[in-house]
Each structure stands twice: as structure tokens, then as C-alpha cells.
Amino acid sequence: MNVAGGNRAALVLALVCSVQFVDVLGVTVLVVALPTVRRDLGVDPATLSWIAGAYPLFFGGLLIVGGRVVDTFGRRRVFLAGTLVVTAASVVCALAQHGVTLLVGRAVQGIGAAVAVPAALAVLLAAFPAGPRRTRALGVWTLCGALGGAGGFVLSGLVTQAVGWRWLFVALVPVGVAVVILARRVIEAGRGTTARPDVLGAILVTGAAVMLILGFTRAGEYGFGNWSAWLPLLLSAVCTAAFLAVQRSVADPLVPPWVWTVPSLVLGALVALVLTFTTSGASVVGTLFLQQVLDLSAAVSGAVFLVFSAAVAAGSAGASGVVRRMRRVPAMVAGLVVVAGAMSVSAIAVDRRSLVLFVVSLFVSGAGLGVASVASTAHGTSTTADDNAGLFGGILNAAAQIGTAVGIAVLLAGVSIGAGPAPGTPDANARGHLVAYLAAGLFALLTAALVALLARRWSDGPAVRPASPARPEHAPAP
């Protein structure tokens, strides 16, 4: 199959963005359908909790390792392998007759996505050289990820009510098969490295991420005082300390220490984490508000989030122009401020029980998310080279997925705290949702101030040179 250069680039973009959409969709695709899954499979609440958390747990926990796997074995090979794993696991989920089978399928889906997503980003960076075309391509990429996260809520309610939750997984199978067939013909093979894998570092960083996500997830269910919350958080801190020590002692570390001296990557990852923390967590709180306070059905609640998806699309589509006019850091800061304002509008909507104000807040939040996400991805990947594209992509995506998992857990904990000692009534639930939205808005606003401060401080300093002479110079980008 011979494809002209421009057509090849368009096909590559379509392939990697479809993988980005499907894999990010997996984080939220079962949220609204969970009550139906529990009834159909007869699972207990504990198993249902693990089914809900298995995918983001493994997806977020393994993304940094996945990024290094891409650099070691080559982007096309890992892209195909990850997509095949996600597709096969989707079949398992669709056919599951027991809760444990669905749990295993969701965990394997997360593992496949953890290598497929950084591989897809590495493929995109290789296909589009730095410049306006890459910025536009990253805008489409970010749009597909944001739409995937928001679309999960919509599809979960609509598909479950129309034809059943299993079709959420059935629909992924032909998409995965088509991607694999086309990718073999369109995506050019990239060479991996001969570096020996840092197995101990991989185990420690994965353990740290998984324990962090698990700890906040359990805190959202049982509170931070419960041992099932604080013990994983403690283990995460221990794993992180051990990981940093190991990275300084091995010849070829999983995450070379010089990576953390690249200002563009650090700021991009920070913004990616905070954006998903606030918007993903707020989306889950929003579905609860619509169903528990406004008494809307799951399908209608999902449909309301179409406004959010449309706003993300609009924000992402216009982001390249915004970034070009404002530059990347101001665009990130502006997006965070807009998201913070949207959280305040959501809090007012909860206080007044207003669906109209809530819809307005969804639109504003989605627009801010779209702009800031494109800017953070462009900023975080602005200093990549062929031999570290997977690593940088893994770090950026790991930040986003960890932000999603932790944000959902923390804001749900805020709902429980705000509801007081007698939750369950509409008034108590509304108080909890109000607290969660105010906390999310404050966090986004403080992060905007921090990013602006750090960017100004780093722009006044000297360029940062990686320790390895084979690496390119990484000058802080505005």
C-alpha cells in the first residue's frame, strides 16, 4: 500500500488519535453503568469498586514504564502490541459472566493502554516535525483524549440504557482490528535502543503510582483515617524514595535524573495532572449532582455532558491559534484560570439547584480544558528527541491519568466530608458537591499561580543541559 506523504501523515494522525480516544475513554466508560453491571453480574460492592478502579490503576500506574518500553523496542512494534492487548481484553470484558472475569479484563485493558498511548504519541511526534503542523496535530490528539474522557460518561449512560453495557466493549473490537491492519501499512518502523531494561526501577515506579492511586481511591470510599487508605499512601512514598535512590545508582535508569531538569516537561506534566484532577473529579461529582440532587436519569445525565464534550472540542480546535498568539505558558495559565472559574459556577449551580448554570459551567470548563491541554502537551513535548519521545509521552500521560484517578478519589472524599454525618438526603448531598467544587476551583487557581511563577523563574535562568552528551540541549521554553 503506497501512500503519499500528506495522506500518510493524515492517516497516522487518525490512527493514533483513535487509540488515544479509545484508551482514555476506558477510564470513564463504566462509571454510569456500574449499577447495571452490579445487578447483571451479581457482584458485591468491594468487587465493583475494584472493577471501577482496575483500568485507571494499571493504565496510570504503568504509563512511565510503557513510555520506556516504546523507546527500547520501537514505537510501531509497541503501538501494535498495545492495541492488540486492549482489543483482546475488550473481548474478555464483553463476554464476562462473573465479576472477577470483568475485573481481570479491565486490568489487562489498562496494561495494554499503558504502552499503546505513549507509543501513539511517539508515532505522532515522528510524523510531524516541530512547528505549526505539530501544534495542530497535538491539538487534535489532545482533543481526542479529552473527548474520550468526557465521552465515557455520555456513552456509558446512553449505550447501557439502549442495548446494554457489554456493547461498550463490543464496539471497541472492530476499531482495534482496523487500527492494527492500517498501522502495519502506514506507520513507519522506528528503531529501539540496545539499553538494558531497568527492571528494579520499573517495579518501584509502578508500585509507587499504583499505591498512590489505590490509596486515594480507598480514601474516597472509606476516608483517610482508614488503614486501607493510609497504608498504600505510605507504601507509595517508600517506593518513590527507593525509586529515586535506584535511579542515581544504575547505569541506564528508567527515568534519567536529567529528565526532571527539563522545565518544559515538568510544567507540562504538572498542568496535565491538575487539569485532569479538577475536570475528571468534577465530572464524577457532576453526575452525582444530576442524579442525586436534580433526580435525573443516568441516560439524561450522560447526555448533559455532551455540552462538556462540545466545549472541549471547541477549545482544542482553537487552541493552536491561542497558543500561537499567547505562547504556551500563558495559554496554560489562562486555561487553568478558566477551569477554576467554571468550578465556582458549578458550586453556585449546586447551591441554587440550577441545571442551566450547571450546563454553563460544563461549557466553560470544557473550553478551558481544551486550550490548556493542548498547550501543556505542546509544552511538555517541545524538547523531545527520537530516543526519548516515548519516555516524555509516558510521563505526560501518566501525570494526566494519575490526576484523573486521584482527583476522582479526593473530590469524592470532599463530597463525603461536606455532606456531614447524615449523608443521603438531597440537601446533604448538595453540601458535599459544593465543597468538592470549591476545592477543585481553589486547586486549579493555585496551580495557575504556581505555573506562572515557575515559568518566570526558569526563564531567567540558564539553559539546562542533560548529563548525557548524546542528549540534545534542553533550554527552557516560554
Amino acid, res. 321: G
Q: 501499512: which residue's cell?
A: 185
C-alpha cell at 229: 487508605
How far separated are the first and last CA of the chain, in Å rounded? 42
User: Which residue from 367, 366, 332, 364 is spatially nearest to 348, judged by alpha carbons?
Assistant: 364
Count Cβ neighbours within 10 Å for each residue of 46-70 and write b for 16 or more, e otherwise: ebbbbbbbbbbbbbbbbbbbbbbbb
Does the CA dihedral 454-457-460-465 come out positive or negative?
A: negative
Orientation angle between helical segments 45-73 and 75-95, nearest 10 degrees: 160
Indicate if the pLDDT at residue 161 is higher than 50: yes
Q: What is the mean pLDDT of residues 166-181?
A: 93
Going by pLDDT thresholds of 50, 70 and 90, the confidence category of residue 466 is very low
Q: What is the mean pLDDT of residues 368-394?
A: 82
Q: What is the pLDDT of residue 357?
A: 95
Q: What is the pLDDT of residue 156?
A: 80
Q: What are the phi and psi torsion angles at 305 (to 5°)?
A: -75, -5
Distance CA 445, CA 20 (A): 28
Distance CA 155, CA 306 (A): 10
Residue pLDDT, tens place only, 251-295? 778 778 888 888 889 999 999 999 989 998 888 788 778 877 888
Distance CA 315, CA 369 (A): 7
C-alpha cell at 232: 498504600
Of 99 and 250, the one with more pLDDT? 99
Of 94 and 430, the one with more pLDDT? 94
Give strand pairing partners of 474.
464
Q: What are the phi and psi torsion angles at 464 (to 5°)?
A: -100, 125
Query: Helix (H, G, I), strand (E, B), or coil: what is residue 424?
Result: coil
Amino acid, res. 74: G
Q: What is the mean pLDDT of residues 55-68?
A: 82
Q: What is the mean pLDDT of residues 361-375?
A: 92
C-alpha cell at 466: 542533560
Is there a contact between 134 and 125 (Cβ–Cβ < 8 Å)?
yes
Q: For residue 191, how many other CB atoms are within 10 A of its CB? A: 10
Of 3 and 391, the one with more pLDDT? 391
- Rounded to two decimals, the pTM is 0.77
Q: What is the pLDDT of residue 427?
A: 78
Of 367 and 302, the one with more pLDDT? 367
Indicate if the pLDDT at residue 471 is higher than 50: no
Going by pLDDT thresholds of 50, 70 and 90, the confidence category of residue 195 is low
Q: What is the pLDDT of residue 367?
A: 92
CB-side neighbour CA atoms (13 Å) of 277: 24
Distance CA 360, CA 313 (A): 15
Is there a contact between 89 and 68 (Cβ–Cβ < 8 Å)?
no
